[in-house]
Structure 1
């Protein structure tokens, strides 16, 4: 199986704040775990607004080097557009970044690893797991 890490999972890993996530990640080979450019954006934003900007940026670069990075490409955009349309018709909005992350997971047939089950459970067809349980 292959997995895409959500931003909240990356933060747990970066801060060493979840033994459950660290333990579960250790069960998998490096080529089974992916990040997305959208998650990178969110993590860079956090680093740039932090009081320890330079240290956090360096930490992110080391972290990113451990994973393959998937872009938000044309196929992901098409999937995101479909999902957004479906959810809007149901009156169930999902945040823009979360929508893009979900679309990348679906486009690449990956299981999304997140603790944000409430948000992602709204997306029909998305496979997800919570490694913090």
Structure 2
């Protein structure tokens, strides 16, 4: 199965004490099955730029995170699916935010599982397979 990795999964790579389960799962899946959205690159860059000294962190991200996944652009089908999903979730009083809606739509459009720690948002999305790699029970 192909997987779309959320920012909270990828950023674990450069943490001083990364979660060993997340790292083992990253290493245990073929690189050809691991994807990230350009929206995740945006989130990584934004988070870096909010720091006092962003350059060393961005260099670590550029060397250790960016090369290990396949990057997906935001496309028209994703945008249209996200618009539908956003309206559906809003009508149900269960909005999850624009970026998470676009990420969920990316996973759905490409038939991928969403790998994230943010179960509260992504489990609201109908038809989306969600994996929490911080949970030791998840393989």
Q: TM-score range by the shorter chain?
A: over 0.9
| Secondary structure of the structure 2 residue equivalent to 1:132 | coil
Shift of 1:83: 0.5
Corresponding residue of 1:72: 74
2:13 alignment counterpart = 13
TM-score (norm 1): 0.95
Structure 1 residue 61 displacement after superposition:
1.4
Provide structure 1 residue ranges, at least 5 long, that are not aligned to the other structure: none
Distance 1:76 1:51 in 2: 34
**Following TM superposition, where does structure 1 have runs of at least 4 consecutive aligned residues deviating by more than 6 angstroms?**
none
Q: Unpaired segments of 5 or more residues in structure 2?
A: none
SS in 2 for 1:92: coil
TM-score (norm 2): 0.91
* 1:61 and 2:62 matched: yes
How much does 1:10 deviate? Answer: 1.3
Structural RMSD (CA)? 1.0
**Which string of whole-angstrom CA distances, capped at 9 and with x for unpartnered residues, describes residues 100-126 of structure 1?**
111111111111100100110111011
